[in-house]
Amino acid sequence: MSATPAPQPAPTQAQLEAVLQTALYLLGARQDQMLTIEEWTGLARAVAACQERKTADYLTEHDLEDIAERHAHEWDGATDGPLPNLDE
C-alpha cells in the first residue's frame, strides 16, 4: 500500500483566476491554430502556483532552452525554477 499524499492547501482566488485567464488564452490560441511560448509558460506558471511547484516542472527541455535564449529576463528562477545553461 502506498501512503496517502499530504493534502494540498486550497488554491487562492488569485491563483484560480490566473488559471482561468491562462486557459482562456490557450483556448483562443488553439482557435487561431497557434500557441506562443508566453501563453504556454503562463499556463505552466498558473498551474505550478496552484500545485506549489515550479513552472519548469511543466515545461519541456526545448521550452526551457527557448526561454533561456529569448525570454530569460521574464523568468524568476526562485519561483519558476532553473533554466538550462546555454553557455556549455
| Range of the structural domain that residue 19 is part of | 13-70
What is the predicted pLDDT for the residue at 86? Answer: 81
What is the number of structural domains in the chain?
1
Residue 46 in any domain: the answer is yes
Residue 3 in any domain: the answer is no
What is the predicted pLDDT for the residue at 31? Answer: 72
What is the predicted pLDDT for the residue at 2? Answer: 64
| Residue bearing cell 499524499 | 5
Burial class (CB in 10 A: 0-12, 13-18, 19+), 11: middle
> In degrees, to the nearest 5, what angle opens at C-alpha 82 toward C-alphas 43 and 9?
55
Contact predicate 37/63, CB 8 Å: yes
Check pLDDT > 60 for residue 34. yes
Residue 50 in any domain: the answer is yes
Range 17-28 average pLDDT: 85
